[in-house]
């Protein structure tokens, strides 16, 4: 049992770093890229959060971004190995186009996560740990505290700039 918990903790950290890094590289904290993201960002900013971090959180909610891509890739790898993860990346790409998302953060997240998860599988951390880990990673950004999470995302965004 301790091995399972440790695997999930490692997977959560890896997923968190992966999806936050990709979203920042794709400039999601800069502004809302899809319908609804600006509304979420301004609402979070009005609640003593940060507008930039709120916009990134809005993008996460409103379109398949790197967090959704990573979670779907974990499910795909769990079900069908690397081909399943690549199919997940294709589905995320289609979802981005349906949302009129101008970027490719979700597709990139799914693609990178596919090979990252497959690689960790070779050293004994299974894909199902990454499913649980990604849910935990998403909850730390979207579920714990919008004001604090948005300020943390803005600080990470400023390191990039």
Task: Give the per-residue pLDDT at 129.
Answer: 97
Task: Give the per-residue pLDDT at 82.
Answer: 97
Task: Give the per-residue pLDDT at 35.
Answer: 76
Type and span of the H or E element at 129: helix 127-142
Q: Distance between CA 60 and CA 28 in Å, rounded? A: 9
80-99: average pLDDT: 94
User: Residue 60's pLDDT band (boundaries 50, 70, 90)?
Assistant: confident
Task: Give the per-residue pLDDT at 12.
Answer: 97
**Strand locations in 9-130, DSSP E?**
none
The single-letter DSSP state of residue 124 is: T
Of 51-60, 75-84, 133-142, where does the model show the most confidence? 75-84
Residue-wise pLDDT for 97-109, tens only, equals 888 877 788 999 9
Residue-wise pLDDT for 3-59, tens only, equals 999 999 999 999 999 999 998 888 888 877 777 888 899 999 999 999 999 988 988
In the chain, helix, strand, coil percent, each to 5? 80, 0, 20
Q: Distance between CA 71 and CA 11 in Å, rounded? A: 11
Cβ count within 10 A of residue 79: 13
Q: Distance between CA 31 and CA 2 in Å, rounded? A: 41
82-104: average pLDDT: 90
């Amino acid at each position: 049992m301790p091995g399972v918990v440790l695997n999930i903790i490692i997977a959560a950290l890896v997923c968190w770093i992966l999806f936050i890094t990709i979203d920042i590289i794709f400039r999601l904290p800069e502004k809302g890229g899809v319908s609804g993201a600006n509304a979420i960002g301004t609402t979070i900013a009005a609640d003593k959060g940060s507008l930039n971090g709120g916009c990134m959180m809005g993008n996460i909610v409103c379109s398949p971004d790197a967090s959704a891509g990573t979670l779907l890739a974990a499910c795909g790898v769990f079900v069908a190995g690397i081909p399943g993860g690549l199919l997940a990346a294709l589905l995320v790409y289609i979802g981005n186009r349906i949302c009129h998302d101008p970027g490719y953060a979700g597709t990139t997240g799914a693609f990178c996560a596919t090979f990252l998860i497959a690689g960790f599988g070779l050293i004994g951390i299974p894909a199902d740990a990454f499913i649980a880990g990604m849910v935990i990673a998403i909850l730390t950004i979207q579920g714990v505290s919008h004001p604090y999470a948005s300020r943390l995302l803005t600080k990470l965004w400023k390191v990039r700039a």
